[in-house]
Chains A and B, each alone.
Chain A
Amino acid sequence: MRAVIAEDSVLLRIGLVKVLEMGGFQIAAEVGDGEALLAAVEEHRPELALVDVRMPPGFTDEGVRAAMVIRRRWPRTAVVLLSQYVEERYAADLLATNTSGVGYLLKQRVADVGEFVEAVQRVADGGTALDPQVVAQLLLRRDSDPLDRLTPRERDVLGLMAEGRSNAGIAEALTVSESAVAKHINNIFAKLDLPVIDTDHRRVLAVLRFFGASQA
């Protein structure tokens, strides 16, 4: 799979190239700002764009805006945003239209190379990867009554689901059996009045819609 990297820190860009190459990606282009990123995506049509949020010239949300353009114009390119801090508002923008092929992770997650590569591959395959901190912010924003009805364990499961993990991934993270996870998920969906869906991806979509991420 081919990838384009947009990151203005040269030092970190070198690290990102190595990590993605280790994960089996072929680097089509490395750029340092949003406009160059759009040009590179248009030229190479990669399967993945790995994008820093704060880039020249404004150093605010250039990466988010470029990512939204990519998702609208080249929907087959999955986008993973990286940032020093994650912001629920940017996640809401990013997930507003479509939650497939999107990731939003803290930069420090790249250091856990194995997990990071896994998350990136999941996004490139059309999945979702949200940083636990984004999920925590989304949970916090949706603090209305239905969430109070969940048990702490069910809230954990909901958070992991929103990060984009599969049943197996959730089971591993919580060290419980997959059938226990499935039971929790059924309870959550019942309590939140969400339709029961089998595929992981559409389930994430339902959860995120519940969080209100897609209303922004």
Chain B
Amino acid sequence: MIPPVLRRSALRVRRDTGFLAAGVPPHLALVPVWSWGATAAAETGNWALVLIAPVALILLGVPVLTAVQRYRHRALLGVDIPRPTPTPERWSWAAVARRLSLTRSWRQLGYHLLLGPLVAALELSVLAVAAAGLVGAITFGWVWALPVGVRQDWFGYATQVPCYTVAGIALLCAVPWMAGAVARTESRFASALLGPSRAQRLQERVEYLAGSRTDLIEAVDAERRRIERDLHDGTQQRLVSLAVNLGLAMATRPDLPGEAREVIAEAHLEAKEAIAELNDLVRGLHPAVLEDRGLDAALSGLAARAPLPVRLRVDLEERAVPAVESVAYFVISEALANVTKHARATRAEVTVRRVGKVLRLNVTDDGLGGADVSAGTGLSGLAKRVGSVDGTFRVSSPVGGPTTIAAELPCER
């Protein structure tokens, strides 16, 4: 039985040496081209060749060699070199110009032309070490197979041959380490030079994240709408119906004993209060009128229901995208709720203005001030919600008031 540690390292050596061996031909492929080019240029004095060669190589050789290297890394080493954003492959002068103008074409050419031979040399030396080690290690064995006379005449086998064998085993022990180091270094260079650049990778990542965030925000909005619909069609209608029936009982049965009437009156009151509370909650989720008539229309109900006088100034010529309207509504709704709960204010003012592509919200009250974004979860939640659409959020609340909450939301994407 082979111990698992040995088996793993044997597998790794086989993988790494296989990978290195497969790397030699593609890495050397351009050597004849460039040595021929250099000699021809030197002999004929025609230096245009030196200029034309890389261009021809970028157009013809580099894509093929890059594909080979990508395949070799994936198949033999399990390393995926991402494909840079694909360019149109149809032949045209514009496509040629674009390909030549890409820095990554020149990076790739650099890899194949200059780094390739260097890497090939490293690969070959690792393979040579492995071969030498193998030969050395078994010297002792095959010398023993020779007739005794030959053995003694040709080799000082008692002294030299064991040295060869020990040296060979030592080399063989070094091979896994060397092969691993060369393979790792090579694949790092290949990823850096053949794959997309860091800037491009980051850009792609940012695009992906921005897209998924937008999707998430839309999903949250859709979920709020769904909950609002469900409550509106279900529980709210049931509660109203309950209150109506209790009202009917009171109106149509004046003959009931006093106690029963009292119980019904109590239940009637409770039902009406439950309706009012649920209405406030559901209205905060996502009012239907916001979708239907926009932010301006939706704010009337919000401001009118606040328990303190609210002055509302809205100046919107066109509607913002739904996600932004939804955030704006939420911010004003929560800000007014905060004013009611904490500020001990006598009045509040809400202004909403669209300036260019930015929606500016301001909620000011004449209360005590001293609100802190880092203290309460309410204000920091608002800041996060505003941040989710790339908006800015500021709170100014000196002790003694007034408190102003200002948010700016970009209306377009």
Q: Give the interface of A toward B (CB within 8 A).
A: 9, 11-12, 14-16, 18-19, 22, 54, 59-61, 84-90, 107-108, 110-114, 133, 136-137, 139-141, 143
New A-B contacts (7) at CB < 8 Å, excluding given A61-B288, A84-B232, A111-B243: A22-B252, A61-B289, A107-B275, A108-B272, A111-B246, A114-B251, A143-B312
Contact indicator B304/A136 (Cβ below 8 Å): yes
Interface-facing stretch out of B233-241, B317-325, B382-390: B233-241
Contact indicator B247/A89 (Cβ below 8 Å): no
Q: List 9 A-B pairs, Cβ < 8 Å.
A: A9-B241, A16-B244, A22-B251, A60-B288, A88-B297, A88-B301, A108-B240, A136-B305, A140-B311
Residue from the list B247, B288, B297, B305 in contact with A133, Cβ < 8 A: B305
Bound CA–CA A61/B276 (angstroms): 21
Contact indicator A108/B312 (Cβ below 8 Å): no
Chain B 283-326: CB-based contact to A (< 8 A → 1; otherwise 0): 10001110111000110110111000011100000000000000
Contact indicator B289/A18 (Cβ below 8 Å): no
State how many angstroms separate the Cβ of A212 from the closest Cβ of chain B.
Answer: 12
Contact indicator A111/B300 (Cβ below 8 Å): no
Chain B 213-255: CB-based contact to A (< 8 A → 1; otherwise 0): 0000000000000000100110011101101111110111000
Bound CA–CA A9/B275 (angstroms): 16
Bound CA–CA A143/B243 (angstroms): 35
Interface residues of B in 140-158 (CB under 8 A from A): none
Bound CA–CA A137/B293 (angstroms): 15
- Assuming the contacts A12-B237, A88-B301, asked whether A18 and B288 have C-beta atoms less than 8 A apart, the reply is no
Residue B360 lies at the interface, judged by CB distance under 8 Å to chain A:
no
State how many angstroms separate the Cβ of A130 from the closest Cβ of chain B.
Answer: 13
State how many angstroms separate the Cβ of B291 from the closest Cβ of chain A.
Answer: 7
Contact indicator A87/B289 (Cβ below 8 Å): yes
Bound CA–CA A22/B249 (angstroms): 11
- Assuming the contacts A22-B248, A133-B305, asked whether A84 and B243 have C-beta atoms less than 8 A apart, the reply is no
- Assuming the contacts A15-B245, A88-B300, A89-B293, asked whether A108 and B276 have C-beta atoms less than 8 A apart, the reply is yes
- Which of chain B's residues have a CB closer than 8 A to the CB of A133? 301, 304-305
Looking at chain B's contact residues, the main secondary structure is helix
Bound CA–CA A22/B252 (angstroms): 8
State how many angstroms separate the Cβ of B309 from the closest Cβ of chain A.
Answer: 8
- Which of chain A's residues have a CB closer than 8 A to the CB of B297? 87-89
Contact indicator B291/A60 (Cβ below 8 Å): yes
Residue B268 lies at the interface, judged by CB distance under 8 Å to chain A:
yes
Which residue of B is nearest A16, CB measured?
B244
Residue from the list A54, A87, A110, A137 in contact with B240, Cβ < 8 A: A110
State how many angstroms separate the Cβ of A141 from the closest Cβ of chain B.
Answer: 6
List the count of A-B residue pairs having beta carbons below 8 Å apart: 114
Residue from the list A12, A14, A54, A111 in contact with B268, Cβ < 8 A: A111
* Most chain B beta-carbon contacts within 10 A, residue among A15, A19, A61: A15
State how many angstroms separate the Cβ of B96 from the closest Cβ of chain A.
Answer: 55
- Which of chain B's residues have a CB closer than 8 A to the CB of A16? 244
* Most chain B beta-carbon contacts within 10 A, residue among A9, A86, A139: A9
- Which of chain A's residues have a CB closer than 8 A to the CB of B212? none
* Most chain A beta-carbon contacts within 10 A, residue among B236, B268, B283, B300: B300
Contact indicator A9/B237 (Cβ below 8 Å): yes
- Which of chain A's residues have a CB closer than 8 A to the CB of B275? 107-108, 111
Residue B271 lies at the interface, judged by CB distance under 8 Å to chain A:
yes
* Most chain A beta-carbon contacts within 10 A, residue among B271, B279, B289, B291: B289
Bound CA–CA A133/B247 (angstroms): 21
Bound CA–CA A160/B392 (angstroms): 42
State how many angstroms separate the Cβ of A149 from the closest Cβ of chain B.
Answer: 15
- Assuming the contacts A11-B241, A15-B248, A108-B275, asked whether A137 and B292 have C-beta atoms less than 8 A apart, the reply is no
Contact indicator B292/A61 (Cβ below 8 Å): yes
Contact indicator B241/A12 (Cβ below 8 Å): yes
Contact indicator B291/A140 (Cβ below 8 Å): no
- Which of chain A's residues have a CB closer than 8 A to the CB of B287? 85
Contact indicator B283/A85 (Cβ below 8 Å): yes
- Which of chain B's residues have a CB closer than 8 A to the CB of A86? 301
Contact indicator B252/A87 (Cβ below 8 Å): no
Bound CA–CA A114/B252 (angstroms): 10
Bound CA–CA A16/B288 (angstroms): 23
Bound CA–CA A15/B239 (angstroms): 12
- Which of chain A's residues have a CB closer than 8 A to the CB of B247? 19, 110-113
- Which of chain A's residues have a CB closer than 8 A to the CB of B311? 140, 143
State how many angstroms separate the Cβ of B333 from the closest Cβ of chain A.
Answer: 13
Residue from the list A9, A14, A19, A137 in contact with B301, Cβ < 8 A: A137
Contact indicator A85/B289 (Cβ below 8 Å): yes
Which residue of B is nearest A15, CB measured?
B244
Contact indicator B300/A9 (Cβ below 8 Å): no
Chain B 32-74: CB-based contact to A (< 8 A → 1; otherwise 0): 0000000000000000000000000000000000000000000
State how many angstroms separate the Cβ of B266 from the closest Cβ of chain A.
Answer: 14
Contact indicator B312/A111 (Cβ below 8 Å): no
- Which of chain B's residues have a CB closer than 8 A to the CB of A15? 240-241, 244-245, 248
Residue from the list B237, B248, B301 in contact with A85, Cβ < 8 A: B301
* Most chain A beta-carbon contacts within 10 A, residue among B229, B276, B293: B293
